[in-house]
Amino acid sequence: MKLVVDLSRCQGYAQCAFLAPDAFRMHGEEALMYDPNPDDAQRERVLRAAAACPLQAILVDQVEGQGAPVGTSRS
């Protein structure tokens, strides 16, 4: 699965790190580190963490297309 955290929104409340510690980790007081490609086995925890984020800063599986190769339809 794909995961993006909008770090400009994230205020380091750490709910995500509490709910899905394998995908999110606090580094120091406020800096959030995260795994952008967590294993699908973590999906439920990650979704719970995304729902719990008070700032809705966690985006799950919303990056499809953005990372798609550009210009593949050219001949």
Instruction: Compare residues 19 and 74 and give the one whose CB is closer to ligand SF4.
Output: 19
How is 14-74 classified by DSSP, letter by letter?
A: -HHHHH-TTTEEEETTTEEEE-SS--GGGHHHHHHHHHH-TT--EEES--TTTTSPTTTT-
Of the ranges 7-15, 39-47, 59-67, which one interacts with ligand SF4 (CB under 6 A)?
Answer: 7-15
13 binds ligand SF4 (CB under 6 A): yes
32 binds ligand SF4 (CB under 6 A): yes
46 binds ligand SF4 (CB under 6 A): no
